[in-house]
Structure 1
Amino acid sequence: MINDQLKSDGYPLPVYADGGMRLEANFEEKFGTDILSEPARRITLKMSRSVVALASFNVNRRHFACTGVCIEFDGSTSTTRVLTSASLVRTSGDENEIVDNLEIKVCLPSELCIIGKLEKYDFCYNVAVISIPMFRSNRPAILVDAPQPEVLALGRVFKSGKIMAAEGSVTGERCKFGCKELKISTCKITKAGIGGPIVDFKGNVVGMNFYDTEGTPYLPSKIIMKVLRSFDAERPVAAGITKKPISRWPLPKPYWYYPSGHRHRTVVRLNQ
């Protein structure tokens, strides 16, 4: 039963049947803390109404899981648009292809899961928009091009539906991903927070988070709004790819290890 569950979640099996091993770099790992400053707690409660979790599945096997944020409601079609990372649907962090026959599930703040549909995507900036029917967010996110030094990263775990928040600040460091527009914050997130919003302490979305072990890269709202405008203008899907090289969006793959008192861990060879 455990092996079947691991396979359906898209995880490798450990070489040894040892209960002392732990799975690292998984999509269920939470981030942040329940002890937040009062302003951060207030913003988290406010924004939790628009933060969702997403997962993509291929033939009952999970391909990817991440966070998204509701950005608008279309009254003519009764659908809500969710901003998230294109890693949800792409074959890998380096490739310019979509996985075939994906089913996208969206976990709402109410913990109800509904089927979503890939609407648009751009691999240059690793942005995707998912539409979900018959759901209207009470508080769609507002994207602003006015970054603040103190910020809050938000996320939601797909399986548990738990909202997560991590406080931090914007740094002047450069990101190694190859996308020069990315900025870095000290908010420590996990893979579950990919695609989630980074907000200021007014509740405005100033960017979308990606994952790295050394600081958290985020795509500023200025670039996101540019991508969304290209979507709304009905330019070709993945518009801009021919004008700019595809940036690399590497992610650590899940692996098993033996916990120790040190941060450095011994990686155990996996079954293929």
Structure 2
Amino acid sequence: SLITVTVCVLDGALLFQCTGIVYEFDDAIKTTKILTSSRICCKLWHPKLKVFVHLSNDTKVEARFLFFNKHYQVALLQIVTEHTLMPASFGSRPNYDQQVFFLGRDKDYLLIVRSGSILGLEQPFAGQNHYLFSRAGSPVACTGGPVIDKHGQVIGIM
């Protein structure tokens, strides 16, 4: 499942929106873990801010912040929901010149798909050597969304 993650103030005004990937679903206790960009973390330090996960049926669920790693720019959220959400299928590492697809959700929660290929691996960028570079640009709405291979397996996140 590919979902939208938003950071809002208490009155509901949107501050930041990105995409997330369902990482794990526990049917017994009805919890879902979501992998997304750590860029939402900079928005979380104020007590009047809330993080929501928007499900495909126009419902939004408040998310609990579990973990983030600034170096790798990933965050892990958890929600409680009765809706069954399918976890992503994770593949192996990407290869140079591999054809990939970038997935995201726009402001209306519609699917965005862009294609491209991997330019290089682990090139230093802003002191971080784990970035992937591609031949296709990706919209801001894809931040936190998956980079998938031609088999539909997640090999990275935006």
Partner of 2:35: 83
Q: How far off its partner does 1:69 sit? A: 0.7
Unaligned 5+ runs, structure 1 = 1-49, 92-97, 210-272
Partner of 1:69: 21
What is the SS of the residue equivalent to 1:89? helix
Partner of 1:141: 88
Distance in 1, Cα, partners of 2:105 & 2:111: 4
Q: For residues 198-243 of structure 1, give each alpha carbon's deviation from its aligned partner in whole angstroms, at most 9, with x where no partner exists.
A: 000101000001xxxxxxxxxxxxxxxxxxxxxxxxxxxxxxxxxx
Q: How does 1:205-220 map to 2 (within 5 A)?
A: 205-209=154-158
Distance in 1, Cα, partners of 2:18 & 2:50: 14
2:125 is the counterpart of 1:176: yes
Distance in 2, Cα, partners of 1:107 & 1:188: 25
Distance in 2, Cα, partners of 1:203 & 1:145: 12
Verify the 8 A CA contact 2:41 2:68 in the aligned structure 1.
Answer: no
Tell me which protein shows more strand as a share of its residues: 2
Verify the 8 A CA contact 1:63 1:88 in the aligned structure 2.
Answer: no
TM-score normalised by structure 2 residue count:
0.86
Distance in 2, Cα, partners of 1:161 & 1:175: 33
Give the AA of the match of 1:100. H
Verify the 8 A CA contact 1:67 1:156 in the aligned structure 2.
Answer: yes
Distance in 2, Cα, partners of 1:129 & 1:187: 26
Distance in 1, Cα, partners of 2:39 & 2:149: 25
Cα RMSD, aligned residues only: 1.8
TM-score normalised by structure 1 residue count:
0.52
2:114 is the counterpart of 1:166: yes
What is the SS of the residue equivalent to 1:109? coil
Unaligned 5+ runs, structure 2 = none
Q: Max radius of gyration: which structure?
A: 1
2:96 is the counterpart of 1:150: no
Give the AA of the match of 2:45. V
Verify the 8 A CA contact 1:151 1:168 in the aligned structure 2.
Answer: yes
